[in-house]
Every structure is written in C-alpha cells, then in structure tokens.
Amino acid sequence: MAVQTVASTTTDSVDLGPAAALSCRECGHRVPLGPVFACEECFGPLEIAYDFSVNSKADTEELRGRIEAGPANIWRYAPLLPVPADVATKPNINPGWTKLVQADNLARELGVTGGLYVKDDSGNPTHSFKDRVVAQALEAARVFGFTTLSCSSTGNLAGAVGAAAARAGFRSCVFIPHDLEQGKVVMAAVYGGDLVGIEGNYDDVNRFCSELIGDPAGEGWGFVNVNLRPYYAEGSKTLAYEICEQLGWRLPDQLVVPIASGSQLTKIDKGLQELIKLGLVEDKPYKIFGAQAEGCSPVSTAFKAGHEVVRPQKPNTIAKSLAIGNPADGPYVLDIARRTGGAVEDVTDEQVVDAIKLLARTEGIFAETAGGVTVGVTRKLIENGVLDPTKTTVVLNTGDGLKTLDAVAGTGLTATIRPNLDSFREAALA
C-alpha cells in the first residue's frame, strides 16, 4: 500500500479510511474520530489528521496509478480522504472532476502570458463546489448514524445538502436567510427536503443552528458545516488535487480562491501540501490569493491593515454565496495568504457584474457572483502588479450563473422584430 495509516494514539472504532484522528488546529490536541468540531482543551477548531507516509518513489507511483485508475469524480482521491475505501459503491451524487478550462481568450484580455485556467465547478451536480464538501459530510453522517442532514447555508450548500440527502435516502432540513436569490431557493427546495428561511443574515442562521445542535430538537441531526465540519471541510482538498492532476501533476504558480467562511481556501492549501508531501507534485512555491466582495470583505480588510484577527462585518453585496460577515477560518486564510506570498483583495458589486460578463464573453462560462468576484479580483491584482501575469494562474469559478440571474438583469434581447426580412434589416444586425 502506498499510503499507510499509522495507528494513532486514539482508539478509532469508525472506518473512515486514511483518517486517523481529529486534531486541534490551535493546540494539536488529538481526539478520536467523531461528530465533534471544537477542541475540549482550548475550543479551537478540529480538523482531520492523517498519518500519510510514502516510503519510496515506487509507493508514490503506485498511489498515482491508483488515483488515475479511479472514477471520474472526487472518489478517485479516496485514499486521501476521510471515507471508507468502498465509498464509490454507496449512493452519492458523485461530484467533482470538473473541467479545468484553458482560458486563452480571457488571458489575452487580462494580459496573462504564463497560462490562465478557470477551474469551473459550476459543472457539479447541483452547480456549485458545495457538492464536494457535502459528499464528505454525508459519508461521515452514515458512519456516525445520523438520519437527518442539515446545514446553515448562503444558498448553494442548501441545494447540495438537499440533493445528497435525496439520493442517499436521508431526511434533510436546511436553514437559509429568508431573502436569498430565487434560483438558490428553488434549487434547494426541489429535492423535497425541508427548507426553512430565517429572518436574519447568514451569521444569524449559523448562530441559530449552533443552538439547535445543543437542543433535543436537533438530536440525531448531522449539520454538515457544524458538527460534521471537520469532514465536510476535507472535500475542498479535492479541488487542489484535481487542479494539479489536470495540469499533468503540476502545481500552479498562483491560485485565486473565493472566501466565504474561508474553509475552502485553507483546505486547498492543505491539499497542495499533501500532494507535495506524497511526492505527487514537485515541491515548489505557490501563491494563494483570496477574493471577496467589497460589501463583505472582513478578511481582505484585515489583510490590508496587517491585522491577525478578522473584525466581523454586516454583509451588503450581490455576492450572497460569499456573504459571511464573521468568517470562521478568516485568521487561517490570513496566515496562508501571507505565508505563500499571496494576498486578499476585494472588488465592488459593479466590478463583479463586469467580471461575470467578461468571463462569459471570453470563455463561454456563465459564473455566479462568486465567480465574478474571483475573476474581478484577478483583474485587479494584475492591474495592481500583485499577481504575476507571466506565471501559471488558476482562477476558481465555484458556482453557476443560472442561480444568480438578477446579478446580470438588463442583459437580454438585442432587438425585437416582426417575423419578416424587412423588419430584420431595419434592426441592422446583418
């Protein structure tokens, strides 16, 4: 076996493949795998610890071969995820292996000469990157015996939970701010689970869910992004794995990643570090850039001010999927941006809309507002000389424009004509 799981000091009674234990990100305290998310010593966040080791080049090549022979979805990376080895045989919506689009037209517009790629995660089953994280949480929920899947959501997560629960035969009950985009609401409701609108913003919804977990009313519920968060979060590593494999097992030089809670960005970094450690990619520097909307920019504000803590904000932006004013992983994002030599930047709602149109017009990709944020931030970072246009750059599009049609309202018919040639000539389109 190429990847070995060295028995941890804890007694693991659950089968989650290569996962060894939960480990505190602040103090390193280890506890057995279970549906817990905060350290009993210091209240720090818990994350999955693996004891990966490859002992030789042959081990690395065997692992690479196993991955390449795997299914065209996230389960090709099962040897690196907290899931049992037979995960691919369970009912699951099987996200991942989305397109890495070589964006030459966009590169020309932005003056990028070193290679520009869009990792287009709108291609997932419910049209956002959230299917990756929910797939992990679902497997953990199965192992821990939960029968109801739940979450607090800015929209995309609600749909991903609804769909995953439907296919796996779980009940679902998810919570969203009451005023989300219609596309997100319908997309979450159509799978038949319960969808509850809360009068408040995402941070209110999240606080409510934390209360529900501690209450008998929430007993037996797996909240994918609360009590299953350590498992959920690992799903984002698959973005890093796929990007590198699709580049021919190469690290990109620069990545531009959107930030809501910051979980995705931190786990992309974790995934890249693992690939280096396992010898699957060459050990060389890469830079991670975080992207926010100006109307909800607590992390970029802290980055620019040189702060180590993130001061909460009250969100007000069209990029609702990223509208988390009190991002749980904010300080870790700051660490990663600084350690890798990246940055965190924000753009206005107007720049988000312009960027959505730019990506659509140049590459035929219709991104949701979060994609407008990353493309807009990429453009701004190039203009400011922060992002190097001569280096290989990957920009994430994490969601589908069909869910945020209002953002581009006003985009529509070029002309309306009567069904005859004279009328067409009058419109002067020929």
- For Zn ion, the binding residues (CB under 5 A) are 24, 26-27, 29, 39, 41-42, 44
Q: How many CA atoms lie within 13 A of 411 on its CB side?
A: 16
Concatenating the DSSP letter of every residue in 329-386 gives: THHHHHHHHHHHT--EEEE-HHHHHHHHHHHHHHHS--B-HHHHHHHHHHHHHHHTT-
**What residue 41 binds from Zn ion, ligand PLP, none (CB within 5 to 8 A, per partner kind)?**
Zn ion
| Least distance CB 85 / ligand PLP (angstroms) | 26
Look at strands 116-120 and 99-102 and give their pairing: antiparallel
Burial string for 233-254 (b: 16+ CB within 10 Å, else e) reads: bbbbbbbbbbbbbbbeeebbbb
**What residue 24 binds from ligand PLP, Zn ion, none (CB within 5 to 8 A, per partner kind)?**
Zn ion
| Least distance CB 262 / ligand PLP (angstroms) | 5
Residues at the site binding ligand PLP, with contacts judged by CB under 6 A: 128-130, 156, 258-264, 321-322, 368, 370, 398-399
Of residues 7 and 27, the one with the C-beta less far from Zn ion: 27
User: How many residues can be counted in the chain?
Assistant: 430
Burial string for 320-358 (b: 16+ CB within 10 Å, else e) reads: bbbbbbbbbbbbbbbebbeebebbbbbbebebbbbbbbb
Helix (H), strand (E), coil (C) string for 141-208: HHHHCCCEEEEECCCHHHHHHHHHHHHHCCEEEEEEECCCCHHHHHHHHCCCCEEEEECCCHHHHHHH
**What residue 27 binds from Zn ion, ligand PLP, none (CB within 5 to 8 A, per partner kind)?**
Zn ion
| Least distance CB 332 / ligand PLP (angstroms) | 11
**What residue 219 binds from ligand PLP, Zn ion, none (CB within 5 to 8 A, per partner kind)?**
none
Q: Which two structure tokens, joined as six digits, stand for 285?
A: 């520097």
Q: How many CA atoms lie within 13 A of 349 on its CB side?
A: 12
| Least distance CB 226 / ligand PLP (angstroms) | 13
Of residues 8 and 264, the one with the C-beta less far from ligand PLP: 264
Q: Position 84: which residue type?
A: P
| Least distance CB 384 / Zn ion (angstroms) | 38
Of residues 44 and 115, the one with the C-beta less far from Zn ion: 44
Of residues 193 and 262, the one with the C-beta less far from ligand PLP: 262
**What residue 42 binds from ligand PLP, Zn ion, none (CB within 5 to 8 A, per partner kind)?**
Zn ion
Of residues 29 and 66, the one with the C-beta less far from Zn ion: 29
Of residues 20 and 180, the one with the C-beta less far from ligand PLP: 180
| Least distance CB 35 / Zn ion (angstroms) | 17
| Least distance CB 39 / Zn ion (angstroms) | 3
**What residue 130 binds from Zn ion, ligand PLP, none (CB within 5 to 8 A, per partner kind)?**
ligand PLP
Indicate the DSSP class of residue 62: H
**What residue 26 binds from Zn ion, ligand PLP, none (CB within 5 to 8 A, per partner kind)?**
Zn ion
According to DSSP, the residues that pair with 175 across neighbouring strands are 152, 196
Of residues 206 and 392, the one with the C-beta less far from ligand PLP: 206
